């Protein structure tokens, strides 16, 4: 029997990138997966189709995060398809291209609204739906532990806040046997990095990004998804309040 058979998972931001990789992997392990998206319904449907083609089960739910009432809207959409869940992956997030000198208040608020406030309230409202023995996995970043890209410090700060949430929440939900962990990717080949990383013209940037990893390559969504799958599984039951370095050794 597959190790997540009978479980239900919700992955925010699963229409593309790392979230899609996580959704596909959890479905491959037997979970029924809620594929959340913000605006790209077509991409979410494509993720659902890919899961179904591989023999898994999934459904798409849309809810824009970072706006008032976002968490309630997400759970209303979820409840229309499922009765409770076992695994919550707070993956949806946004980056910034503004440095310390360029940062403005609106963008600062937006980054914290999507990357910190939304996962907090999604989890708060989701706690009653999450079954005992469940999992909360927050997708952080290597940048919360190392100032290797100070030009995007506001983004790094949001992930630091998310990690503090992870640690504290592990104490709050631990009594119910629910583990709470952060998984921290390094540079991963997703749309968010496409403009500076993909294509022949960015070959040098790609090589530089690969060289940051001890393993000499740029990460893939699957690299992150496999780490998440461990924490989501029964094998991960004794790991909680932990920050898992999934940077391919970029911080060593």
* Residue 28 CB neighbours (<10 A): 17
In angstroms, the Cα distances linking 20 to 50, 75, 91, 191, 223 are 10, 19, 10, 12, 12
Using alpha carbons only, what angle is made at residue 116 by residues 208 and 234, rounded to the nearest 5 degrees?
A: 80
The CA distance from 236 to 249, in Å, is 21
Q: Would residue 155 show up in a list of annotated catalytic residues for this protein?
A: yes
Contact 122/73 with Cβ under 8 angstroms? no
Q: How far is the CB of 145 from ligand NDP (least distance, A)?
A: 12
Nearest-angstrom CA–CA distance, 252 and 250 = 6
Residue 192 is given by DSSP the state: G
Which residue in the set 66, 126, 134, 236 belongs to the binding site for ligand NDP (CB under 6 A)? 66
Q: Which 117-176 positions form the footprint of ligand NDP (CB under 6 A)?
A: 139, 141
229: contact with ligand NDP by CB under 6 A: no
Q: Choose, by CB under 6 A, the member of 8, 96, 166, 193 that binds ligand NDP.
A: 193
Between 85 and 89, whose beta carbon lies closer to ligand NDP?
Answer: 89
- Report the residue number, 54 or 195, with the smaller CB distance to ligand NDP: 195
Q: In this chain, which stretch among 25-33, 60-68, 171-179, 226-234 interacts with ligand NDP, using CB under 6 A?
A: 60-68
* Contact mark string toward ligand NDP, 69..108, x via CB under 6 A: ----------------------xxxx--------------
Cβ contact 171:161 at 8 Å: no
Residues 170 and 180 sit within 8 Å (Cβ to Cβ): yes
Count the residues of the shown chain that bind ligand NDP, applying the rule CB under 6 A.
29
In the DSSP assignment, the letter for residue 193 is G
Select from 36-44, 99-107, 123-131, 230-238 the region that touches ligand NDP (CB under 6 A): 36-44
CA 97/CA 154 separation, integer angstroms: 10
Q: Residue count of the chain, please give it.
A: 252
Please, which residue, 40 or 202, has the CB nearer to ligand NDP?
A: 40
Q: Is 183 in the site for ligand NDP (CB under 6 A)?
A: no
Run of H or E residues at 36: strand 32-37
**Contact between 17 and ligand NDP per CB under 6 A:** yes
Q: How far apart are CA 184 and CA 144, in angstroms?
A: 8
| 79, 109, 132, 191: residue in contact with ligand NDP (rule CB under 6 A) | 191
Find the binder of ligand NDP among 10, 18, 31, 180 (CB under 6 A).
18
Pick the catalytic residue: 155, 166, 224, 232? Answer: 155
Tokens 């459904």 correspond to what residue?
A: 59
Q: How far is the CB of 176 from ligand NDP (least distance, A)?
A: 25
153-173 vs 118-126: helix crossing angle, rounded to 10: 20
Active-site amino acid positions: 155
Positions in the binding site for ligand NDP (CB under 6 A): 13-19, 37-40, 43, 64-66, 91-94, 114, 139, 141, 185, 187-188, 190-193
């Amino acid at each position: 029997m597959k190790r997540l058979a009978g479980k239900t998972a919700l992955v925010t931001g699963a229409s593309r990138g790392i979230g899609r990789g996580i959704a596909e992997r959890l479905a491959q392990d037997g979970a029924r997966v809620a594929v959340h998206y913000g605006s790209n319904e077509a991409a979410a449907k494509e993720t659902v189709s890919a899961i179904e083609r591989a023999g898994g089960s999934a459904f798409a739910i849309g809810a824009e995060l970072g706006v008032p009432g976002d968490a309630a809207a997400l759970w209303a959409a979820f409840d229309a398809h499922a009765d409770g869940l076992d695994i919550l992956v707070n993956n949806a997030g946004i980056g910034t291209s503004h440095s310390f000198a360029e940062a403005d208040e609106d963008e600062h608020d937006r980054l914290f609204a999507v990357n910190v406030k939304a996962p907090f309230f999604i989890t708060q409202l989701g706690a009653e739906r999450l079954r005992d023995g469940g999992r909360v996995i927050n997708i952080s970043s290597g940048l919360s532990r190392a100032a290797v890209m100070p030009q995007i410090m506001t983004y790094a700060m949001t992930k630091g806040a998310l990690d503090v949430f992870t640690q504290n929440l592990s104490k709050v939900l631990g009594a119910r046997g629910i583990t709470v962990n952060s998984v921290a990717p390094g540079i991963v080949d997703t749309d968010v990095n496409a403009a500076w990383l993909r294509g022949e013209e960015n070959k040098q940037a790609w090589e530089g990004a690969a060289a940051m990893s001890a393993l000499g390559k740029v990460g893939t969504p699957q690299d992150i998804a496999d780490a998440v799958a461990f924490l989501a599984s029964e094998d991960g039951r004794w790991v909680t309040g932990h920050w898992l370095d999934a940077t391919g050794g970029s911080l060593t």
